[in-house]
Amino acid sequence: MTEQQAPDVSARAISTWSGSAREQAVQRMFTAIAGVYDLNNTLLSFGLHSHWKTITASYIPAVEQGTALDVGAGTADLALLLEPRMGVRGRVIASDLNHAMLVQGLKKVDGKGLTGKITCLQANAEHLGFDDDSFDAVTTGFCMRNVGNLARAVGEIRRVIKPGGTFACLEFSRPVFGWLRAVYDWYSFKLLPWVGTKVARDTTGVYEYLPASIRTFPDQERLCQVLREAGFREVFYKNLSGGIVAIHVARK
């Protein structure tokens, strides 16, 4: 399937694809909403996304002269939270495949006077392009659900982490209570697409793709298994907001 054909396919179908076709379609969606991404995140998560990201960053040990990588950094929220944990002379790279999202992230970094400490860099999660054992820590926030090949992306992340380093992954997951799953399904498949169309004026289908991609992504225990199969150790997760999202933490 070519890039030109992808818009004719439903967003829910895109969530089941793998490889370059999925990658191209997802990138096109996020390019279209980059300018309103932060506002929409705040509205649609009732402001919780900032709290979730703050907790995720807290799992990264503070180090002096540290180096950290945020994969799928989007508008650089997690990268900004990682920066003080890397020490006065530390460095953070905010990487994302989507140029439009990185432009928004760079504006934030510039606004905080941190261009000397945080570098925004376009990179593919499945082919990061960094040397082995380069980073003390790697994070991802709502990224892994969108990669074409999850096992390959996790393997790349492990490759670039230093021995003993930490990986923290924030992602939508499976609510732990039946009643919450029912409410979340209604929100995801009814309210969220409506808000995306009426409020965010999205015409790309990204707010239909979002809940569909969540349903096809590994749940908490299965993602632990993916991380272990990639060679990570000390793998555990913490549910937030009743399992609507989960933070997975692993060591190399």
Q: What is the DSSP string of 93-157?
A: EEEES-HHHHHHHHHHHHHTT-TTTEEEEE-BTTB--PPTT-EEEEEEES-GGG-S-HHHHHHHH
Q: DSSP 3-state assignment of 196?
A: helix
Total number of domains constituting the chain = 1
Give a yes or no: residue 1 inside a domain: no
Q: Which domain, by its residues, includes 22?
A: 6-251
Give a yes or no: residue 173 inside a domain: yes
Residue 35 DSSP symbol: G
**73-108: pLDDT as tens digits:** 999 999 999 999 999 999 999 999 999 999 999 999
In terms of pTM, does the model score above 0.85? Answer: yes
Q: Give the separation between CA 97 and CA 18, rounded to whole angstroms.
A: 16
Inter-axis angle of helices 206-216 and 20-33, to 10 degrees? 140
- Other residues' Cβ atoms within 10 Å of the Cβ of residue 123: 20
Give a yes or no: residue 119 inside a domain: yes
**150-195: pLDDT as tens digits:** 999 999 999 999 999 999 999 999 999 999 999 998 988 888 777 7
